[in-house]
Chains A and B, each alone.
Chain A
Amino acid sequence: MNQQTEVEEEISFDNLSFLRVRPSQTFNPSILENHDAIILEYFGRHNVLEAIKQIRSHNEKLVYITPIFLLIEGGNTEDSIVALADGVIEKLTNLDSAASVTRKIISRI
């Protein structure tokens, strides 16, 4: 699998817009301004850490405060990296919990 490939997919769920991304070196967090939350595939600890850093260090409030969910479908994960996100998604078919967290965060912005 090519690690530089960045999968971007917009998922609409319960009137919320999630952007699913496989983090890579070309990841540009500015695209998050038009989405309610981001789902990052847990695809290599370095890529995930770097993507989270890019989002949280962004200058735009709507970008740096974006809820981040990690899509973890198996494999090894690191607790501290998981704790940096707002939640974990195991299956894209079940976004109820992520939607609830996202709504809560949006309501407090």
Chain B
Amino acid sequence: MKLNSLIIDDDASFRVFLKQLIEKHESLALAGIAENGKQAIELLREKSIDLMFLDVQMPDMSGFEVLDEVKNFDPTQVIITSGSSAHGTKAFDYGITDYLVKPFTEERFEEAVARVKSNTRGTQYTTTLINQVLGKVLFYIHTRDIQDYRPLPLRDAKLGYIYPMLTANLDFGREEKGLDILEMAEQEGFLTSSFIDSFYTCNNCYNSYLFFRETCPKCQSADIESEEQIHHFPCAYVGPVSDFQRSSDPTALECPKCKRTLKHIGVDYDKPSIIFTCNRCDHTFQDPLVKAKCNVCNSDIQVENLLKKNLKAYQLTSLGRDAALGKVIIDLDENEEMEDIINKETFHKLLSKEIERKKEALFESTIASINLENISEIYDSIGNQNSSKLVKEIFELVNNEINRSDEVVFQSMVTIWLLLTEKGVEKATTDIQRIEKRIKELVDDNYDNFSLSLSNTVKPVVTNKTASEHLQELNEVLLERS
């Protein structure tokens, strides 16, 4: 996803310099250029800007005056560009992301953009955007008194469907977020829904422009041909129709085994199935692999791994109406659930407390990590959304296996950290092995032809080491193994 960037500077040569930097940066897209504060405000009101490079001193107004004017237009991030560092303190009071003193190097520019990207990955940006967009949608439904807020088919849309107002507020690359926003709004009670239809999207880029075709299960080539299969009752010969066709008269069928002429379908022969032949590897088979090629990202996906999306019509609830009118605050947070799962900070705090507790009393505690060694293979095939679902399932499973006083988090998508309180290494090792067994059963049962490999590290919690040192040890063991 590229960040829509806006240049605001009265210096023509600097605008050209910055334009070149933005255009060649893989994470940025130039959305506009303003020569003064007035133009900047106009562009910020019109467009959805993720990042502005703002000059502090301009003839018509200062950069800070621009920020005062547009303070309600979140979630724009700001990089101040200035000839001096004199305004630094004031700038950071405005909550800017970075401050570049002209002239600056390309490396310094990269560093500032990296900081912006790091902020963007956080929840604040997404959450603010989601809440803003939902506010608009609810207000739109209310002002139009729409009884059924329905999707409209549109070939230009990423999903093939758009919702009025909603999709217009999402960049093409984020259009699939619209369905998530509506689902979250339903969960929060702003909307109710009724099912309309379902469709499938690419599990990598969420596009619904897919080319479905049958492929060879052996070499994956789509260059395959199908033929009806014939079962000749009298001699029990079974083979493709071409085996029965005579070169002298292709319309007549003769059994290659008993040389009798086939007369009546259902009486002396039948066509029980279709047989496929691969033109690339000559493999013959009855069950082709159905795959979908994404027209956008070119992923070639087994249809079982496509993402199924439900299309719904939505109705405004009284709570939704109040939210539309600003009587109720809209505060959705899509990352809340995953934040609980992948949360190293909380784990670190709890481990620190456990170390302190151990200093006060005599008992044993253990930390452990479980590494899901080859689970990335599954993540690659099922896409981001289903990967998150799988992580949640594993998280819930592990949570059910441990005591209430114990703690589990995902350190990353492949590594689980556990804190087993008041339990020594020996007992904890038995528990970890049981948990590993359950995880393996869950994954192996749900993914055909896949065998999950796991490894673990179990260490005692000791009082002469900090929480960071404990966790560093766990990571070092993992690194040594990899």
* Partner-B contacts on A (CB < 8 A): 28-30, 49, 52-61, 63-65, 79-81, 83-84, 86, 104-105, 108-109
Contact = CB atoms under 8 A, between A and B. Distances in A.
A67 to B, nearest CB: 9
Contact of A56 (B45, B73, B153, B169): B169
Interface in B1-52: 42, 44-48
A81 B140 CA distance: 17
B252 interface: no
Interface stretch (B58-66, B160-168, B287-295, B370-378): B160-168
A56 B168 contact: yes
A109 B164 CA distance: 17
6 contacts: A58-B46, A61-B139, A65-B140, A80-B162, A84-B164, A105-B144
Nearest to A28: B46
Contacts of A64: 136, 165
Contacts of B42: 30
Q: Which of B142, B154, B169 has the most CB of A within 10 A?
A: B154
A59 B45 CA distance: 5
Given A53-B168, A56-B168, 6 more contacts: A29-B46, A56-B164, A57-B168, A84-B162, A86-B144, A105-B144
A64 B57 CA distance: 32
Contacts of B44: 59
B327 to A, nearest CB: 14
Interface string B144-164: 110000001110100000101
Contact of B48 (A55, A57, A81, A108): A57
Contacts of B145: 104, 108
Nearest to B150: A83
Given A52-B168, A105-B144, A108-B142, A80 B45 contact: no
A56 B46 contact: no
Contact of A59 (B73, B144, B152, B154): B73
Given A49-B156, A56-B168, A57-B168, A108 B46 contact: no
Contacts of B153: 80
A19 to B, nearest CB: 16
A72 to B, nearest CB: 17
Nearest to B154: A80
A4 B72 CA distance: 33
A58 B154 contact: no
The 5 closest A-B pairs by CB, nearest first: A56-B168, A80-B152, A53-B168, A108-B143, A80-B154
A56 B144 CA distance: 14
Contact of A105 (B72, B143, B164, B168): B143
Contacts of A28: 46
